[in-house]
Amino acid sequence: MQHSAALCQLEPAQNRSVEPSTTPAGDISTAKLPAPRPSFTASVPATFELVRGRAQEVVHTASRRCEPRDWLVALDWMIFEAKLHPKANRTTARVAMDLASRMDYRRGIVLYRLVETASNLELDVATVKRHVAYLREMGALVWLEHGSKRNLRLPGRKYTATATVYGAVVPPAYDTAKGHRLRGTGYEARVIGRTEAARKLAVDNSAQQPARKRPAPPSRGGYHHGPVAEVGGKEKATRTARASKSTPPKKTTLGHKVTAGLYQAADRLARRLRPLHNWTQRAQISELSWVLLDKLAEGATEEQVDAWLREISPSVAIGLDWRPARPHAYIASQLLEERDARRADAQLQQDWAAATAPNAKFAAAAQETRLRQTSGEEVPDCGGLQDLDQETRKQMRAEAWSAYKYAGDPSLVLTTYELAGPSAAFELYGRELVDLCVKLHANANNARIRLH
């Protein structure tokens, strides 16, 4: 992987001609993390051999791939409960949490960035290298790609190196202790269930927990306003009569009426276009044809639909080599976004058409302001944060908290943070709210993380 400004540093084990040595003694633990929660484990391994040498590579590893959230749960067991590594401690957990915050949330892949990690955690570079080595020796990290400081000599760039890429994994000792049943071996292994002993232990553990008091079921009232059956007449409640009742016609994603001819045309179109777009392969023909109904209802041709699918392809629209698990849902979301954009443009055109010219006083004031700016006359500066009274500060802080809690909007705090500086933001909104807003903004694109 090319990296234009490689912040990653090489470790001794990254040189293939040198065998990795044992990790040195010594450690710095400055974090005050919450105590690990107790977990019910099937068995803690009596002996565990540290992973060394080629076993730390993705090709030769015995550990399986893991998502960041499950990886942190497994690390809690490996570090604090099973103590797989004699030197791993809370600092190791802090380093792992920093790596997990930058991981791909589905594949658990992360760029090392040694200097950046040390700066974020306020640790020495050597300390971070030691604890990353502990993670590798526990079988919790594998090398996907070794970085190098050697210049690639790309045209137009003075210096270009390659970055170290790690993958989050869990060792077989964790799966054995938790009673996981796996399919496959090594990095591509997957959890498909639990052993009988693990299920029995989970039942026993749940029985030991205090029973929760469940609310009583709602009572059925003694009086209901229901229709009264009438006896007699010519009409009968038969199956034929129920089937003859009129049902509303089905609608497409954008509300177009679905006809038999339109659906048949969409089915033929889906069968021709699905082989041409690799990111739609996971969708069934029926699913793909249903979301293409709107384009055909609007009069689009096959060539136009083909070009539109290429435009909304994730590699073009998002810039990632990613295939959606449900392509038809992704296409439907693109249809809705385009409809909302068209409505917003139409509303903007109506607003401009209905806009009225400013009155004479407003025009005169605007002309006077322009003259003052062009004449070089100094305009008095607006007051700073020190000019705000306590009541105004209290109101601004309440509005910022409300925007963060109920709308997930950190813009009020981030504007002050970026324009006036962190110290001014801390003084006005408080350190807790500023930290929460900065964290929310940093994880805005991660759909798997809920911050509040």
Band (44; pLDDT cuts 50, 70, 90)? low
Count of residues for the chain?
452
Does 212 have pLDDT greater than 90?
no
Give the model confidence (pLDDT) of 56-69 as tens digits. 999 999 999 999 99
Answer yes or no: is pLDDT of 356 > 90.
no
Chain-centroid distance of CA 365 in Å reads 49
Q: Is the pLDDT of residue 156 over 90?
A: no
pLDDT above 50 (res 256)? yes
The rounded mean pLDDT for the chain is: 76
Per-residue model confidence (pLDDT) at position 161: 66
Q: Roughly what angle, to the nearest 10 degrees, separates helices 114-121 and 125-137?
A: 110
Please give the Cα distance from 143 to 409 (Å, whole number). 38
- Residues 392-428 pLDDT 10s: 888 888 888 888 887 778 888 888 888 888 888 888 8
Please state whether the predicted TM-score (pTM) of the whole model is above 0.75. no
353 pLDDT band, cuts 50/70/90, is confident
291 touches 277 (CB < 8 A): no
The strand pairing partners of 257, in sequence order, are: 251
**Tens of pLDDT along 283-323?**
899 999 999 999 998 888 888 898 888 888 887 766 666 77
- CB-count exposure of residue 71 (10 Å: 0-12, 13-18, 19+): buried
Helices then strands (H, E): number in the chain? 18, 8
